[in-house]
Amino acid sequence: MAPQMIFVNLPVKDLDASKSFYEKLGFSINPQFTDETAACVVISDAIFVMLLTEEKFRTFTAPGKEISDATKSTEVLVTLSAESREKTDELADRALAAGGSPAKEPTDLGFMYGRSFADLDGHHWEVFWMDPAAAQGGQA
């Protein structure tokens, strides 16, 4: 049985700038599902981000619904796990260097560490590492 996949669809104002931002984070663009209105960002074998121009995004939403302005309101928190604290910092630092902005202060609970950033359109991303022993023990 193939693993279940997730496709996070995000509206963007400037598709080329957004593609460049995510490539600077170390992710690739799948050209098979990319055109002048959309780009498929490959996060992993099972996680993808579909960057859609606002016009294209509207074709997928319910009639009459507005697209949230992620710079003014929180629409969703997209959270990715990382292999280590260092990898957490690495991805967050790359996002900031690529033009993203800090979303909130880092979280350090000892057994869990997280950083956050907003992408070029204000979409809120969280990156976290959790000590595998703590995760197996159910510490929250």
| Domain extent listing, the chain | 1-61, 72-140
Instruction: Tell me how far the alpha carbon of residue 111 is from its chain's centroid.
Output: 23
Percent of the chain with pLDDT strictly greater than 90: 86
Q: What does the pLDDT read at residue 138?
A: 57
Predicted confidence (pLDDT) at residue 13 exceeds the cutoff of 80: yes
**Cα separation of 111 and 32, whole Å?**
40
**Cα separation of 120 and 14, whole Å?**
9
Q: Which helix (H) or strand (E) holds 93?
A: helix 85-97
Architecture label for domain 1-61: Roll (3.10)
Q: Which tens digits make up the pLDDT trace of 58-108?
A: 999 988 889 999 999 988 999 999 999 999 999 999 999 999 999 999 999
Residue type, 95: A
**Cα separation of 39 and 109, whole Å?**
36
pLDDT band at 139 (very low <50, low <70, confident <90, very high): low
Indicate if 72-140 has the same CATH topology as 1-61.
Answer: yes
State if pTM tops 0.95.
Answer: no
Which residues have a Cβ under 8 Å from the Cβ of 23 and sit 6 or more positions away? 29
What homologous superfamily does CATH list for 72-140? 2,3-Dihydroxybiphenyl 1,2-Dioxygenase, domain 1 (3.10.180.10)
